[in-house]
């Protein structure tokens, strides 16, 4: 196995040259048999092992998805939902699997508003009403059945072992436990999973212990999740029915119920995966495939690429003030359209063809001033019809047969709602916050929404998740994606620009400082590492620039010829790209 932190030695066949003759600063992992990249090295290893055992990329991705539910509990999940792109080699076709969560049947448009019509703080993020019907188990099992080659039980076996035998808590996860302690300790069923008694505390049942007697897990300690192991065994035996029907479903509903029932057994039993047509665009000759609505990611990614294609970015240079300015201006226009038009296409008409039209993009980009930032209050959604979620995680997989998976799934915020369904080990999402609780009111990511994304029973909330597969000459080239809420779209955009316009390898592409604009609030967010001179030039153009924490944790795999490359974002030291060598 080759791990991203390892060293790749030159082949003996390569002519001897100076070691510093290349332009590359960072280097991806290389392998000849396939590649997996995820946010947690244990999950990446699970996927690589499945490839080594003869599984295809879909098998490996499903195994990674279930493993992340164990070893990345703040984002990996059984109780959330997401989107998966599958490039199937035998049909040379790409499929978009939508396993986004849905609003329960009891949900109403005004459920998060008080009698005065104002949003009730925290109700859409920290209560049983914040939980949407989970889709992850349905999505992963659907992918395994439709496109996989190995039995489901074999794909879940590594996750079961990790839950049953435990794994060593990393410094990154320990920090998350500590930071989110107040969020997690409000629920007795959650205490039983993620807390332990202090050595000198009274002997009490974990769920009933006072907070002063409990502590979160520290780095180096082993976290066991026996309830989650039992849940995974049930899924391995019964498939999705083991989660959406029977005892597990009953425990989910009962945990959420108090005087009312925010979710019913029928809500769970009726959940279905939606198979959709990927949204497609061409950027400088490269085909870009991503998720359609209810993800806004793919639509607005293509929209921004279409706008930027009219500018010579390679001449301006990576990280230049002009390139950053144009990224911000195109994002400002796209996010204004997002607030107006995007929602669940099963409930509202989404002008997807118009939004991704190059003609529409040309009309928008004609309004971009190259030397002056536009005020967001002056920007409104364009006439697209004329042309007709913070704790998320992503993983990407390629195999030697030509199968590719790019998958982003989420609990929404860190540890979701914080509610573990009693006796199951399943941490539940707070995805209802991704609906527009009230038109014009921002969600937890500061995103504004309109009536297209209003709450309705059975509806899927709007998302920014943007799994991407890129094709060159019709062949798989790169699969990538990232968590990051509202910042997902611009992060993925910059990975594409870095690889195509600025000719970076995938490790360099995801290591560069990032920028973000989302129309409202009206400021340009940047990571540390942009030079003061560049920042001043951006301010001179009229941008309000704010240096803020890092954005995204990109996971990228690539195929070039007979070699695979992988890179895991250095912003997350727990992540890893792991490749396998061809057995032929």
Q: How many Cα atoms are found within 13 Å in the side-chain-facing hemisphere of 54?
A: 4
| Strand-pair category, 475-480 with 29-31 | unpaired
Apex 194 CA angle, 188 and 198, nearest 5: 90
CA–CA distance from 239 to each of 63, 140, 286 (Å)?
A: 14, 10, 38
**Helical spans, DSSP H, in 407-502:** 488-500
- Is the CB of residue 335 less than 8 Å from the CB of residue 517? yes
- Is the CB of residue 584 less than 8 Å from the CB of residue 32? no
CA pair distance 214, 512, nearest whole angstrom: 40
Q: What is the pLDDT of residue 449?
A: 56
**Residue 22: band (very low, low, confident or very high) from pLDDT cuts 50, 70, 90:** confident
CA pair distance 271, 103, nearest whole angstrom: 10
**Residue 4: band (very low, low, confident or very high) from pLDDT cuts 50, 70, 90:** very low
Please write the tens of the pLDDT for every residue from 57-87: 999 999 999 999 999 999 999 999 999 999 9
- Please say if the pLDDT value at position 194 is more than 60: yes
- Is the CB of residue 108 less than 8 Å from the CB of residue 454? no
Q: Which residue has the tokens 């930071």?
A: 179
**H or E, element range at 322:** helix 321-341
> Distance between alpha carbon 189 and the CA centroid of its chain, in Å?
26
Instruction: Provide the token pair at 207.
Output: 């769920």
Q: What is the pLDDT of residue 448?
A: 57
**Helical spans, DSSP H, in 218-320:** 226-238, 241-244, 246-256, 265-269, 297-308, 313-316
Domains along the sequence of the chain with CATH: 29-88+97-106+122-274+393-433 (no CATH), 275-391+464-561 (1.10.246.130)
Q: Among the options 356, 392, 534, 556, which is catalytic?
A: 392
DSSP characters for 329-390? HHHHHHHHHHHHH-S-TTTS---HHHHT-HHHHHHHHTT--TTSPPPGGG-----GGGT---
Please write the tens of the pLDDT for every residue from 501-558: 999 999 999 999 999 999 888 999 999 999 999 999 999 999 999 999 999 999 999 9
**Greatest extent of the chain over all pairs of C-alpha atoms, in Å:** 76
Active site residue 255: no
Mean pLDDT confidence for 451-473: 94
């Amino acid at each position: 196995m080759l791990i991203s932190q390892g060293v790749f030695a030159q082949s003996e066949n390569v002519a001897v040259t100076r070691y510093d003759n290349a332009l590359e600063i960072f280097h991806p992992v290389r392998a000849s048999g396939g590649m997996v990249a995820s946010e947690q090295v244990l999950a990446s290893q699970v996927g690589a092992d499945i490839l080594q055992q003869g599984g295809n990329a879909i098998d490996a991705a499903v195994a990674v998805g279930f493993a992340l539910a164990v070893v990345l509990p703040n984002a990996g999940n059984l109780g959330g939902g997401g989107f998966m792109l599958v490039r199937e080699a035998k049909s040379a076709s790409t499929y978009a699997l939508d396993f986004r969560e849905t609003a329960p049947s009891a949900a109403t448009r005004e459920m998060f508003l008080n009698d005065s019509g104002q949003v009730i703080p925290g109700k859409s993020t920290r209560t049983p009403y914040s939980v949407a019907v989970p889709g992850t188990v349905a999505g992963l099992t659907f992918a395994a059945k439709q496109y996989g080659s190995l039995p489901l039980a074999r794909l879940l076996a590594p996750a079961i072992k990790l839950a049953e035998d435990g794994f060593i808590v990393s410094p990154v996860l320990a920090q998350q436990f500590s930071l989110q302690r107040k969020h997690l300790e409000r629920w007795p069923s959650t205490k039983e999973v993620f807390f332990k008694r202090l050595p000198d505390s009274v002997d009490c049942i974990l769920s009933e212990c006072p907070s002063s007697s409990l502590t979160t897990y520290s780095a180096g300690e082993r976290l066991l999740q026996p309830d989650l192991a039992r849940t995974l065994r049930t899924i391995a035996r019964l498939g999705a029915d083991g989660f959406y029907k029977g005892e597990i479903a009953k425990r989910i509903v009962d945990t959420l119920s108090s005087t009312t029932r925010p979710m019913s057994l029928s809500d769970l039993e009726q959940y279905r995966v939606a198979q959709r047509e990927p949204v497609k665009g061409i950027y400088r000759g490269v085909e870009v495939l991503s998720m359609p609505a209810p993800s806004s990611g793919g639509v607005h990614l293509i929209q921004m690429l279409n706008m930027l294609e009219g500018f010579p970015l390679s001449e301006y240079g990576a990280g230049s003030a002009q390139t950053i300015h144009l990224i911000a201006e195109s994002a400002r226009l796209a996010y204004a359209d997002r607030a107006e038009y995007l929602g669940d296409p099963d409930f509202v008409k989404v002008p997807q063809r118009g939004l991704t039209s190059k003609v529409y993009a040309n009309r928008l980009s004609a309004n971009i001033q190259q030397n002056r930032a536009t005020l967001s209050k002056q920007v409104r959604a364009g006439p697209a019809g004329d042309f007709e979620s913070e704790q998320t995680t992503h993983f990407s997989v390629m195999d030697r047969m030509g199968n590719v998976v790019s998958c982003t799934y989420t609990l929404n915020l860190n540890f979701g709602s914080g509610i573990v369904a009693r006796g199951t080990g399943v941490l539940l999402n707070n995805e209802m916050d991704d609906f527009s609780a009230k038109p014009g009111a921002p969600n937890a990511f500061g995103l504004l929404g309109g009536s297209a994304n209003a709450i309705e029973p059975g509806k899927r909330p709007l998302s920014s998740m943007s799994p991407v597969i890129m094709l060159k000459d019709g062949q798989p080239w790169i699969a990538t994606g990232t968590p990051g809420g509202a910042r997902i779209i611009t992060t993925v955009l910059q990975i594409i620009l870095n690889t195509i316009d600025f000719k970076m390898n995938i490790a360099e592409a995801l290591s560069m400082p990032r920028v973000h604009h989302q129309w409202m609030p009206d400021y340009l967010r940047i990571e540390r590492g942009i030079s003061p001179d560049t920042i001043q030039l951006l301010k001179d153009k009229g941008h309000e620039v704010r240096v803020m924490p890092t954005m995204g944790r990109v996971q990228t795999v690539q195929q070039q010829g007979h070699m695979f490359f992988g890179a895991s974002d250095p912003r997350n030291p727990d992540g890893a790209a792991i490749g396998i060598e061809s057995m032929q």
